[in-house]
């Protein structure tokens, strides 16, 4: 099953202070690079300038604003026609060079950015869009800009050159939706800076100006205490970075929520403002909603430790000895009782395609304090592409729990998780019956599961005569 395949990460050492790629300028004329670069400096915005080269081979990430000259080679754009199709046909070679240049300097997984061209003719931009939108040309996976606009370089020559900084700022603030995306990123960065300042302000400093020995000793003590209190002593020692960051999240969150901006939120959230009730709010499509569910509730770590709270582990449903040891004498009957589907053909297909799993769901306190214990695992199934309307809800037992009541999307698979709350085992993470660990469920959904299980085991029975 595609979901079982693991992700491998290549760790490349990086310097703490990387080159900033937020604003880049690509031009084949050094004087034009200098003009635009100085204009950005005058606005207080830093940028990187690149004199265009066919040999450049390091596409940049985290680019947010990219200036490109239309003419990056000796060829000049032909704009003698008013027809977009004719402009496209006459400039195919130039557009191909420009598309390749964008791929050279901007990584395909760059993220949102604005593309600005040095040109006075907006029809050239429209023709270039048409060129790039044709999948046969090979640019389908090129990083797609949120906005494509232009500046006429000829308007800012000589004495008018001093007006270019104001034109740049006007351009960057022209669309409130674009402004929101960059404002969000800036506020997140500012929240981190303010959190650091808050820590710095409360720490006792060295008495001598310029000394920082005492400061860093106190920082060590505070961060160590935060880490241990947040993730638990043993877990914090194994992963101090995660423990510190999780511990600082409430402060970062507080600062982020206090951020101020000039965004028109009624414009950004039109659907929310106009909705009469919650059910009026719709995701763009189901796959996107499933990905949002995953973003909130699943840690996409490869090979997570099986002792981790929320770890989802495969179990071989074809191994009869394993099934019998779990008190599952017949997997088909066990599955049919967990998820009642009336149509026999659909039921068989869903059952054959599902994966038997176990989820570690020890209490958060026991996990954080790394207490010696027999781990608690609940059994269930992971089912790709299940149509929930096929389930007979009237026959669904109380012990059958649809985790989160939602779908997830991970590694190109849509799936749901169904748990049998009557099948909880106590064992260790080294249990030989366990197969591959798939991913880890996050704290919120695990707390929800713990609450649901507590209600299940504490329900009151009725004796009748």
Tens digits of residue pLDDT in 94-108: 999 999 999 999 999
pLDDT in tens, 352-371: 999 999 999 988 777 777 77
Confidence of residue 234 (pLDDT cuts 50, 70, 90): confident
- Average pLDDT in the 409-434 region? 95
- Residue with the bigger pLDDT between 392 and 209: it is 392
* Each residue's pLDDT tens digit, 7-46: 223 334 444 556 778 889 999 888 888 888 887 777 777 7
| DSSP code per residue over 144-213 | PPSEEEEE-GGGGSGGGGGGHHHHHHHHHTS-HHHHHHHHHHHHHHHHHHHHHHHHHHHSPPPSSTT--H
Q: What are phi and psi of 28, to 5 degrees?
A: -95, 0
3-state per-residue secondary structure call for 27-83: ECCHHHHHHHHHHHHHHCCCCEEEECCCCCCCCECCCCEEEEECCCCCCCCCCCCCC
Q: Is the pLDDT of residue 188 over 70?
A: yes
Domain covering 18-174 in this structure, CATH number: 3.40.50.2300
Whether pLDDT at 119 is above 80 = no
- Cα separations in angstroms, 108 against 47, 70, 142, 229, 411: 20, 20, 5, 40, 19
Closest CA to 423 of 447, 403, 399, 450: 399
pLDDT in tens, 308-365: 999 999 999 999 999 999 999 999 999 999 999 999 999 999 999 999 999 999 887 7
Question: Is the pLDDT score of 225 beyond 80?
Answer: yes
Domain locations in the chain? 18-174, 179-274, 282-457
- Under 8 Å between Cβ of 410 and 294: yes
Q: Taking residues 251-265, what's their average pLDDT?
A: 88
Instruction: Give me the pLDDT at residue 321, please.
Output: 96
Lowest average pLDDT, out of 81-95, 155-169, 222-236, 342-356, goes to 155-169
**pLDDT value at residue 374:** 86
Task: Give the model's pLDDT for residue 1.
Answer: 41
Provide the pLDDT confidence category of residue 450 given band limits of 50, 70 and 90. Answer: very high
Does pLDDT of 305 surpass 60?
Answer: yes
- Look at residue 465 in the predicted model and tell me its pLDDT: 64
pLDDT band at 174 (very low <50, low <70, confident <90, very high): confident
pLDDT score of 120? 66
H or E segment to which residue 287 belongs: helix 286-297
């Amino acid at each position: 099953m595609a979901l079982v395949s693991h992700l491998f990460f290549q760790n490349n050492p990086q310097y703490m202070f990387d080159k900033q790629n937020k604003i880049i300028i690509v031009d084949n004329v050094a004087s034009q690079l200098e003009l635009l670069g100085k204009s950005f400096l005058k606005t207080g915005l830093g940028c990187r300038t690149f004199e265009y080269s066919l040999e450049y081979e390091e596409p940049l990430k985290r680019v947010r604003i990219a200036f490109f000259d239309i003419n990056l080679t000796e060829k000049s754009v032909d704009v003698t026609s008013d027809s977009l199709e004719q402009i496209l046909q006459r400039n195919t070679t130039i557009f191909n060079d420009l598309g390749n240049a964008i791929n050279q300097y901007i990584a395909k997984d760059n993220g949102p950015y604005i593309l600005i061209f040095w040109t006075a003719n907006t029809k050239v931009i429209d023709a270039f869009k048409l060129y790039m939108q044709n999948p046969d040309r090979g640019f389908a996976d090129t990083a797609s800009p949120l906005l494509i606009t232009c500046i006429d370089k000829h308007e800012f020559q000589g004495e008018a050159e001093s007006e270019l900084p104001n034109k740049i700022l006007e351009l960057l603030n022209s669309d409130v939706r674009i402004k929101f995306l960059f404002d969000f990123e800036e506020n997140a960065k500012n929240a981190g800076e303010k959190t650091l300042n808050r820590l710095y302000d409360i720490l006792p400093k060295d008495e001598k100006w310029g000394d920082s020995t005492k400061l860093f000793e106190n920082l060590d003590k505070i961060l160590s205490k935060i880490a241990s209190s947040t993730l638990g002593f043993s877990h914090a020692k194994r992963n101090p970075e995660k423990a510190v960051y999780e511990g600082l999240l409430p402060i970062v969150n507080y600062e982020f929520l206090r951020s101020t901006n000039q965004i028109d939120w009624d414009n950004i959230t039109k659907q929310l403002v106009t909705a009469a009730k919650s059910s009026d709010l719709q995701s763009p499509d189901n796959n996107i909603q499933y990905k949002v569910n995953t973003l909130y509730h699943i840690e996409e770590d490869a090979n997570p430790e099986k002792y981790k709270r929320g770890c989802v582990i495969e179990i071989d449903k074809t191994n009869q000895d394993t099934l019998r040891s779990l008190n599952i004498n017949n997997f088909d009957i066990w599955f049919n009782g967990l998820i009642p589907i009336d149509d026999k053909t659909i039921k068989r297909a869903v059952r054959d395609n599902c994966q038997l799993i176990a989820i570690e769901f020890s209490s958060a306190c026991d996990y954080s304090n790394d207490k010696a214990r027999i781990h608690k695992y609940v059994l269930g199934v992971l089912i790709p592409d299940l149509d929930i309307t096929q389930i007979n809800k009237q026959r669904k037992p109380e012990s059958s729990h649809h985790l989160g009541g939602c779908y997830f999307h991970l590694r190109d698979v849509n799936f749901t998780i169904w748990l049998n709350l009557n099948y909880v085992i106590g064992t260790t993470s080294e249990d030989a019956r366990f197969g591959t660990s798939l991913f880890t469920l996050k704290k919120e959904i695990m707390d929800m599961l713990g609450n649901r299980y507590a209600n299940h085991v504490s329900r009151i029975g009725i004796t009748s005569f």
